[in-house]
A and B are shown apart, each in its own frame.
Chain A
């Protein structure tokens, strides 16, 4: 039996986050993706690195994989709560 979050519950989370002005990424477990121009991308609330090459970085998140495409990509920092990717970023995509 899978763990299913009822629709109402999801709405309640959303409701609480909205009305109590709590950070949504904490209440709803969403990744916070910050991009600095095309030279850096910081992902908080991630679930680890799936693939890393100089042209492609795949980062797991609660809503799917985050694909970062570019060149000369480097993982500047890797912490349980935060990953920073440096380099020339061409595209990012969320793949379910």
Chain B
């Protein structure tokens, strides 16, 4: 059926009105002569509406004369007639084609170039280099070879470790990964203590050590000096010596590792009788569109159905275009039900909880490279209501930090 109506459309067909006393005779005769009719419907007492292939009109007229019925063309349908109409209205056709071409052309242009990931470099300089390599707003997108642009950026700008160029529709984005250059030399510097502690070991790479193992140092104290004093004169008695060569003290950038033992203290307590909150696991989410004066709820109830709850709200705005922002936000609210209940802790439980709290408070204080050598919990005060625990942690960590100094001139 579909195939037949497809071909009928391709070759064109006519909708005819057949008027006469016995239109059935025409149908039978047409059938015998091989003229295919379809969709025959009766629209009036003596009128039939039939569809017939465009090329069968002439034989059908012949049959109509024989059977004394009249044939009128009511409509011409199908591709040949549509094309004929379009040929008459060529401006319409031209406009449609122009529209498609223009849409294709405009959507294959680069409209904006975004530069991402620049810290030290100037984004405009990156844009200049990219434009020289062909990536600039207004250029056709298929003329831009993103690999060539990235290569050119890496070749031209020495501060770039890696660059990549991506297209997102008409928007090109250049992602820059800058080189992490070593810190410039400080010139002359001491190594001083960042924290107070007891020196565990000293490794000097450059400079003269000022502390030794077991020394107690305070913050800011020089650990390795950048001043190298002249060696002491050899002690000789009696024998006349030539005058010793005059050594000047040397100034340099001290380098080395000083590790020290450092103690941290942390106090935490826990109530023995407390009202705590716990999530019940019931979650309600509300999705809504928020406008300046009203709120439309897309999903979920209009209010949170719990007496106590924890709220997390996520807002999403439509992307900004130029300096136009729509005042419409998509808001997703997630409310988690909370239950409050009283707990009565035993002494041991309270101590354990306070210790845990002290431990987690301590974790915030310690630096990442600190190596914990000892950990000690001590119950410092306890009564009916609460338990307080002090945590003392001993760590081994590097305490040296460079500090610049100006050598005395002359």
Contact = CB atoms under 8 A, between A and B. Distances in A.
Interface of A: 48-54, 73-80
Interface stretch (B33-41, B56-64, B131-139, B162-170): B33-41
Contacts of A53: 42
Contacts of A78: 27, 30-31, 36-38, 40
B40 A52 contact: yes
A54 B30 CA distance: 20
Given A50-B24, A52-B27, A76 B39 contact: yes
Contacts of B406: none
Given A75-B27, A78-B27, A78-B31, A52 B37 contact: no
A54 B28 contact: no
A76 B23 contact: no
Given A48-B28, A49-B24, A80-B31, A54 B40 contact: no
Given A51-B24, A52-B23, A76 B38 contact: yes
A52 B24 contact: yes
Task: Using C-beta atoms within 8 Å of the partner chain, give the interface range for chain B.
Answer: 10 to 19
A80 B34 contact: yes
6 contacts: A49-B31, A51-B24, A54-B42, A73-B42, A75-B37, A78-B30
Contacts of B39: 74-76
B143 interface: no
Interface centre among B28, B31, B40, B48 (most CB of A within 10 A): B40
Contacts of B303: none
A77 B28 contact: no
Nearest to A54: B42
Contacts of A73: 42
Contacts, number: 48
- Dominant secondary structure of chain A at its interface with chain B: strand
Nearest to B30: A78
Given A51-B24, A52-B48, A79 B40 contact: no
A48 B24 CA distance: 9
A17 to B, nearest CB: 27
B70 to A, nearest CB: 17
Nearest to B37: A78
A77 B38 contact: yes
Interface in B319-361: none
A73 B24 CA distance: 14
B32 interface: yes
A50 B25 CA distance: 8
Closest 6 CB pairs of A and B: A75-B40, A48-B28, A74-B41, A54-B42, A77-B38, A49-B24
B32 A80 contact: yes
A49 B27 contact: yes
B31 A79 contact: yes
Contacts of B31: 48-49, 78-80
Interface string B256-292: 0000000000000000000000000000000000000
Contacts of B42: 52-54, 73-74
Nearest to B38: A77
Contacts of B36: 77-79
Contacts of A51: 24
A74 B327 CA distance: 58
Contacts of B34: 80
Interface in B13-33: 23-24, 27-28, 30-32
A28 to B, nearest CB: 23
Nearest to A52: B24
Contacts of A76: 38-40
A54 B40 CA distance: 10
Given A49-B28, A77-B36, A78-B37, 16 more contacts: A48-B27, A48-B28, A48-B32, A52-B23, A52-B24, A52-B27, A52-B42, A53-B42, A75-B40, A75-B41, A76-B39, A77-B4, A78-B27, A78-B38, A78-B40, A80-B31
